[in-house]
Chains A and B, each alone.
Chain A
């Protein structure tokens, strides 16, 4: 125990002195969170609509007025040719052209009805879809008013989440998860493979040091750094983005540390397998990159193609993110996320077996 603590104190000191390592474990995660927090990727924003009113009559004025009244839309009047240029530059989401024969009136059977043309920016399909929807709804309502028929079905819109979920609320647990993964895998794999290559491990193993002491000291060092990372990220989330951790900090930290241990075992396995430092980033990326995208870090885990979802849903980072998110957003307790915790423990056991098989301090 005393030996472990002495080694731990020195390893930690060395780690903290390493500016590059510190940059990657504290500054990069922070940058990720601040950038994505402000980018507000999940925020839909407004749909910018240009209207070219070629009719200039009472009907078109009425239509335009209703359009302007819709909160989601930001409406401006722009001639078609100018608007099309803006559309191509993606400065606009949509262009609505009201034809000169536009009129809201009953049509005689066989008469051609005026056609509103809607152009959309393909780069923002979601916004365009919503815009089109709104335009057709307005037309429908105007038509109903004229034809004096009532809709046969009504839709009442409600959100599923009790509290309104902002993107940052969704993002913060994901950022925590992904950084825990990166820190644990990269910091162990890079440091130990470098030690192996440079003969540091050989030199250490020429002493009667207890391998468990050395190993524990390495793990403790990473746990402290991970705890520091989680603390910094949470502080920024709470202060800068007003994120509320509904389920409380304690269960969140417990799950975060469980996740750290899980990814540490993978880091050790990787460090055991790799013989040169060049192999580390390749394999580490192979492990982390799919999880980066499919484990619900920046957007829902359901963004993964349906075919691979059975796999992506049980990836270590998916389980970790799910647990963190349920605690932080939905106020789940540790007992509520027991399935994910069980999953994390199973992965940890697998990682541990792999690490023990691949990593041998005595070998160097």
Chain B
């Protein structure tokens, strides 16, 4: 199958800092691909180049069959994005927010159906600014789906969310993937990558230092004779928290 994202020798520098140092990778259609790394590793820069928001200094990239450098607008039409630290226009309801983005893509959508898909149908008439953090992330995903994208880019989608909201979002990402949409996400939460991603690329100082399915990365590590210095607890505080507060959607 032809990759939906194909990146070859991608480079980007900001002044003296080489943010991306000639990375190459591809993403298969239908998979959940994770770009991992500490803050400042170059994840967001890479993603924003692929989204057509930033210019690269060198290399080559195609997304959904479109050359990103030659036709950023063509890429934008085919992808869905959720940006880090972005916001929605003021004083609109959740439903109007979806309608606003549909207008931006110049497409007609069934706003309520989209909101239902992200479990926000009951919040349709509520001001988007009054939504909780998790609800806003789900709304953000709804706005990213208005153009029925072939690939959805999520930049640190669960940062700042409480454990239930995170799990909720994971469910949503799985359901989106189940419908055949490719998901490209960045995260610095390793548990998230391990649970969600089919394959992960680990970035460090602008380079990809490993790229494989999570299970394989772990097996390789163990094969190298790695043992954890302390015994793994049978449960941790997060398990306690979830046990006490429940796994289901509890957000108000």
Chain A interface residues toward B at CB < 8 A: 2-3, 6-7, 10-11, 13-15, 17-18, 191, 194-195, 198-200, 202-209, 214
Contacts and interface: CB of A to CB of B under 8 A. Distances in A.
B54 to A, nearest CB: 11
Interface of B: 51-53, 73, 76-77, 81, 83, 85-92, 96, 99-106
Interface on chain A toward B: helix, strand, loop, or mixed SS? helix
Contacts of B76: 206-208
Contacts, number: 77
A9 to B, nearest CB: 8
Contact of A206 (B53, B100, B102, B106): B53
A207 B89 contact: no
B83 to A, nearest CB: 6
Given A13-B96, A205-B53, A206-B76, A198 B91 contact: no
8 contacts: A3-B106, A14-B90, A199-B86, A200-B87, A202-B53, A206-B86, A209-B103, A209-B105
Nearest to A206: B81
B89 A208 contact: no
Nearest to A191: B90
Given A3-B103, A207-B104, A208-B77, A14 B83 contact: no
A202 B83 contact: yes
A18 B90 CA distance: 8
B105 A207 contact: yes
Nearest to A362: B53
Nearest to A11: B89
A13 B104 contact: no
A202 to B, nearest CB: 5
A206 B50 CA distance: 11
Contacts of A3: 103-104, 106
B182 to A, nearest CB: 17
B87 A198 contact: yes
A195 B73 CA distance: 22
Nearest to A201: B86
Contacts of A209: 103-106
Given A202-B83, A204-B104, A208-B77, A10 B53 contact: no
